């Protein structure tokens, strides 16, 4: 039996603009039945979400998973905190970095892997200052201009 190809790839576009990415990790998410069904339909958003430690466990906060349309009264809460599943060694490393360095953990991408499980790519990040954001905009504009010149030249 061949599994269907899942092309669910929900990105947090603001994260790369607002933060400087230092290290990336892949984490599983503890979900209920209606939550995974809604994610497979693409009804999720990680735009305003962040990760935080509570009792030595990592949770993603403010991740929106819309209610599943075909569920009965057993539907889930769209904005509840969801536990992230990672190895203890990785969690200890992340917690130490967050406490000591003042870094942040932000979700970058929500996807379904080839086994059909929902995964969240998270990053250890440092907030950018205003001048860093201006530099990012300037680099993006110059790259766009250069691509137009190359296109016109060919």
pLDDT tens for 42-66 read 888 898 899 999 998 999 999 988 8
- pTM here is 0.78
What CATH superfamily classification does 9-128 receive?
Small protein B (2.40.280.10)
pLDDT at residue 120 tops 90: yes
Mean pLDDT in the chain? 86
Q: Say what the pLDDT of residue 69 is.
A: 74
Give the residue-averaged pLDDT of 11-27: 89
As a whole number of angstroms, the distance between CA 128 and CA 134 comes to 10
């Amino acid at each position: 039996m061949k599994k269907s190809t899942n092309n669910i790839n929900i990105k947090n576009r603001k994260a790369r603009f607002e933060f400087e990415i230092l290290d990336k990790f892949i984490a599983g998410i503890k979900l209920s039945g209606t939550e995974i069904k809604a994610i497979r339909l693409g009804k999720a958003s990680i735009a305003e979400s962040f990760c935080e430690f509570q009792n030595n466990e990592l949770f993603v906060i403010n991740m929106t998973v819309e209610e599943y349309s075909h569920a009965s009264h057993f539907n889930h809460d769209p904005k509840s905190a969801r536990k992230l599943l990672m190895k203890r060694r990785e969690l200890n490393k992340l917690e130490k970095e967050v406490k000591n360095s003042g870094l942040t953990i932000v979700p970058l991408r929500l996807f379904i892997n080839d086994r059909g499980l929902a995964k969240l790519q998270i990053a250890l990040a440092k907030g950018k200052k205003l001048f860093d954001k201006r530099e990012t905009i300037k680099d993006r504009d110059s790259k766009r201009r250069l691509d137009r010149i190359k296109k016109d030249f060919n």
